[in-house]
Structure 1
Amino acid sequence: MAHHGQGTGAAPRRAPSRLQTVRARILGAVLALAALGLIIAGGVAYTAQRAHVDDRMDQSLTRSLEEFEALAHDGVHPSTGERFTSSDDLVNTAMRQTVPAPHEGMVGFRGGRTQWIAATPVPLRLEDDEALMEELEPYTTGRVVVLRQITTPETSYRVLVIPVTDGDVPSALVLAFDRSAEHAEFDQVFRTYAIIAVVALLLIAAVGWLVAGRLLRPVRLLGQTARRISDTHTSERLPVTGNDDVSDLTHAFNEMLDRLAAAFDAEHELLDDVGHELRTPLTIVRGHLELMDPEDPEDAGSTRDLALDELDRMHRLVDDLMTLATAGSPGFVRLEETDLGRLTDDILDKARLLGDRRWTVDARTGATANVDEQRLTQAWLQLASNAVKFSAPGSKITLGSAVRDGRIRLWVRDEGIGVSPDQLERIFVRFAQAERDPAFRDGAGLGLAIVSAIAGGHEGRVEVSSTRGFGSTFTLDLPLEPGPNPPAHEPDDLSGASGSPLAPRSSPGVVAETPLTMEIPVDSRARLGERTSS
């Protein structure tokens, strides 16, 4: 049975559409915020200004009412020079003296019917709107001044009705603004505002598109560079410009590329090293197994011994390669407070079993430091093992430790064959060996590379000085991290008995070193006084 919707492989990843890019999203957010701001600002201003237009019309109508009341109270008839004696004369005279605004009109009522109309130049003809006249009739026969809004099929009005009572027939003066026309002038201003707002949004879009493109250019380059990165192409780096979050991102990306490049290089080196070094013992074992006579016990036994020896060498080689492969990882060294004097004693105990040499210590510090004791033991013993390897039985090998100028110095000095000047740098390369004499080629050439890696893990280095035929001195030079304050004076450096005359006085804040040399016979199990090595 076929099952729809299932495939044999992962679906290809869809590339993001143009509208889904960060640049478009940023621009969309900016435009949305800008448009929202313009709409809110325009809406608030529009509402406030429309209310202001209504207030202005009401204020104009209120002034007209005050002028009418003043005319009725203090005015005189322009023909007779006497005070008004009838409401008809008052309304007629008020209409003659009133100059309406551009969108204002007026009309006079008597007995609920239109009696007087405005002069011809007045553009707003209230009397032509029959629906308005019908609406006004009840108000013109009353006794209360009315200010209200009336809407007819033609337009909307803001109306003031001033009734005047004189006898049995009431009169009234009606003043009205064309509210729709007043608002239409105001709406034109906001239509202009809307056009300007749209143009502003277009300018914001254009400028924002360019600015976002410039700001996001490093991000685009980052993506393009990331797509070009592979284990054989790790040289790409991004140019760093500016001093902002994007430049910090670029820095971090370049540092990540450096780590990737180092990881790829370490992987390739490990594979090359394994392929190079393991092939030889495998070839040797295979060749001897092919030529071995199973019927000959002596031949089978010697072949077995050779195979086991080669397997042991392969095991040691794999361990060394694993050590070098992890040299760049964060957990390669684990720092803890270590007594360097005790470490010197321990190294001497272990090193004296490496060979028939006269082992000596010419300096021993009593300082403490934040170091990886196991890694330093591994590196120091490797230097001691090299000294044994390249020196004659019975010769002197000197160990020492010191702290000077904030640096830890741990050294091994021998009286061996030395290293040629042109080989001093080469000896720290993996599988490189300076001495070509087969008598000295019993290792894979990884020892000094491991020592250099351990020193680098402590942010230090390995120094070497050598004279061909007179011996070499290898020194681990490491930074001294802040630790407990050193004692005012150090005890007897090697015997462990405090107050010994061999322990020099030291000034406060200075780590004392003991320029002491003592020879230790190889066959002696007692170590300097009461101490016994294991």
Structure 2
Amino acid sequence: MAFSTLVSVLAIREILVVRLEQEIEKYLTQEVEEFRRLTQGKNPSTAQPFGDDVAAIFDVFLSRNIPHENAFLITLLNEKLYKSSPQVLPIALKPNSALIEHWLKLKQPKQGKEFISNHTIYYVAEPILKGKTQGVFVVIYSISSAHQQVNRAVVVVIQVTIAVLAIASVLAWIVAGRLLAPLSLLIETAHLITESDLSRRIPVQGVDQIAELSITFNQMLDRLETAFASQRNFINDASHELRTPITIIRGHLELLGDDPQERRETVELVTDELDRMSRFVDDLLLLAKAEQPNFLNLQTVDISLLIGELYTKATALAQRDWRLENKGVGLIVADRQRLTQAIMNLAQNATQYTSDGDVIALGSEVLNGYAYFWVRDTGVGIAPTDQERIFERFARGSHSYRRSEGAGLGLSIVRAIATAHGGRVELKSKLGEGSTFTLIIPLDPPFGDSV
């Protein structure tokens, strides 16, 4: 604000000076034009043209025109100062001065500016020749006093702007303090947030941008709190899943005897537990890779052939009433292996929650630019409260009468694969009636060939 005020004051002064100079130039031009018209007119005393009587022209003009407060009218006749208005002239304009001597020698009109005795003057000199009589008419304007008036006006402007600046600064300080109070609270809240305490939130007041910032910050804290909670749960679940096979392996190795049969049984048990741990680690690595840009290896896949191959593979998983409900016709740009992995996970999951003779059906369909792959079973079903939770890592249905041998990562992998393709997984299920898992994948992924 202070810088803007300074620039404004300087601009005001410059504008006033320019306008003053324009007014002076206009005044000088007007006086000379009037003098020229008079030289072409008649002498009011005789009603006859002036002829060669230059002195009469000067007398009539000086008698009719009163110069401006800061102006001087000077007439030079036959190389001498004839008359002036007013009669009292500055020392620099006295007879025999350098300027007078300069004007006496003029043969052509001249306009200029001179600096004399700490004064700046503007002038227009108009030579006149009538017969053998030579004269010079000079209009002079001293700008020094006018500059003083401009400076006095600028001083008033400075005083007013300083007062306005002081008042505006105080008001701006008060208003800014109130507006920035939520930011101070935000900073304080951010300092109080720790890894173990993400529960603090900023009170939202009003509907301005500060309020919007507070809402955004609170939403960010919600996401961070969820992420930290998910991380803690993941670490706890992962450590629990690994602790069990490690405990089993250690216990059997500590009790390992010399009997060959016992050794074989122990080796088989340890190998099985190590295989389970290996599958668990592989699943975790797969979920981690699902967030990387090179997770998918895209190619053009025939949907009809893919669902036929998947049905053939699924029938070898368990003795169930396997059915192929529909074979969609069309092509999809996708990762064939990842889709196979996702649908086989769903099929394997269906076998674990069904019994011999239960129906497990696979199918595919192309509709509105999307490919639909589903796995339907007539098993125990999933409770409504569990239908979203089971897609989380290490989650299992709470109402199932049997438990999966896995670590609860299968459905998380399925959702990760669908998301990587730009699609999603939908679930429809009722307790006691079975479940239907559907992968919905766009025929052309939104990320193109960059994956």
Counterpart selection for 2:409 from 428, 432, 446: 446
Whether the aligned pair in 2 keeps the contact of 1:112 and 1:137 (CA below 8 Å) is: no
2:373 pairs with 1:403: no
How much does 1:286 deviate? 1.7
Q: Note closer, same or farther for the CA distance 1:368–1:263 as it changes in structure 2 (3 Å cut).
A: farther
The secondary structure found in structure 1 opposite 2:67 is: coil
Matching of residue 104 in structure 1 with residue 76 in structure 2: no
Equivalent in the alignment of 1:309:
272
CA distance in 2, matches of 1:212, 1:384: 63
Residue 291 of structure 1: aligned partner: 255
Using the TM superposition, name which of 194-203 and 90-99 deviates more. Answer: 194-203
Q: CA deviation at 1:300?
A: 3.7
What is the aligned-residue identity percentage? 23
Corresponding residue for residue 275 of structure 1: 239
Distance change >3 Å, CA 427–CA 64, structure 1 → 2 = closer
Normalized per residue, the structure richer in strand is: 2
Alignment of 1:81-230 (within 5 A): 91=58, 94-106=61-73, 118=85, 122=86, 125-126=88-89, 129=91, 132-135=94-97, 137-138=100-101, 144=107, 147=110, 149-153=113-117, 155-157=119-121, 158=123, 160=125, 176-185=140-149
Aligned match of 2:338 in 363, 368, 375?
375
* Aligned 1:409-488 pairs, distance under 5 A: 409-413=373-377, 418-419=380-381, 421=383, 425=387, 430-432=394-396, 434=398, 442-454=405-417, 458-467=423-432, 472-478=434-440, 481=443
* Cα displacement (A) at 1:401: 0.7
Q: CA deviation at 1:269?
A: 3.5
- Distance in 2 separating the partners of 1:275 and 1:50: 88
Inter-partner Cα distance in structure 2 for 1:91 and 1:288: 135
Which of the residues 301, 304, 329 maps onto 1:366? 329
- 1:48 and 1:283 map into 2 onto residues whose CA distance is 96
Alpha-carbon distance in structure 1 between the residues aligned to 2:344 and 2:55: 129
CA drift of 1:427 comes to 5.5
1:291-331: CA deviations, max 9, x gaps?
333x4444444333322221111111222233344556666
CA deviation profile, 1:55-93 (whole Å, cap 9, x unmatched) = 22322431453265257x534379xx9989976666556
* Contact 1:161/1:174 (<8 A) preserved: yes
Normalized against structure 1, the TM-score is what?
0.60
Distance 1:204 1:330, change over 3 A: farther
CA–CA separation in structure 2 for the residues paired with 1:370 and 1:234: 42
TM-score normalised by L of structure 2: 0.69
How far apart are residue 443 of structure 1 and its match?
A: 3.5
Task: Rate the CA distance shift 1:62–1:202 in 2: closer, same or farther, 3 A.
Answer: farther
Contact 2:50/2:57 (CA < 8 Å) preserved in 1? Answer: no
1:373 Cα deviation (Å)?
Answer: 3.3
What is the identity, as a one-letter code, of the residue corresponding to 2:239?
A: G
Partner Cα distance (2:295, 2:442) in 1: 18
- 2:15 counterpart of 1:65: no
Other structure's SS at 2:101 match? helix
SS in structure 1 at match of 2:440: strand
Report the counterpart of residue 347 of structure 1 in structure 2.
310
Stretch of structure 1 that moved more, 367-376 or 81-90: 81-90
The 1-side partners of 2:38 and 2:79 are apart by 20
3-state DSSP class of the match of 2:95? helix
Equivalent residues of 2:350, 2:360 under 8 A apart = no
Amino acid at match of 1:292: L
> Any idea what the Cα deviations from partners look like across 1:433-461, whole Å, max 9, x if unmatched?
557878x5643343344445545653222
Task: Provide, for residues 251-290 of structure 1, a one-character-per-residue CA deviation record: whole Å limited to 9, x for no partner.
Answer: 9988877776665455333322221111111112222222
- Report how many aligned residue pairs link the two structures: 435
Residue matched to 2:45: 76
Residues 332/472 of structure 1: CA separation in 2 closer, same or farther (3 Å cut) = farther
Contact 1:338–1:368 (8 Å) recurs in 2: yes
What is the CA deviation profile of residues 172-221 of structure 1, one whole-angstrom value per residue up to 9, with x for unaligned ones?
A: 76653334334544565666677777788889989999999999999989
8 Å Cα contact 1:132/1:150 also seen in 2: no
Distance (whole Å) between structure 1 residues aligned to residue 355 and residue 106 of structure 2: 136
Q: Look up the equivalent residue of 1:443 and give its one-letter code.
A: G
Letter in 2 for 1:464: S
Q: 1:56 aligns with which of 14, 26, 43?
A: 26
Q: Gapped runs of 5+ residues in structure 2? A: 446-451
Q: Is the 8 A contact 1:435 1:441 kept in 2?
A: no
* Separation in 2, partners of 1:344, 1:53: 94
Please tell me the root mean square deviation across aligned C-alpha atoms, in Å.
Answer: 5.4
Alpha-carbon separation, structure 1, partners of 2:26 and 2:161: 27
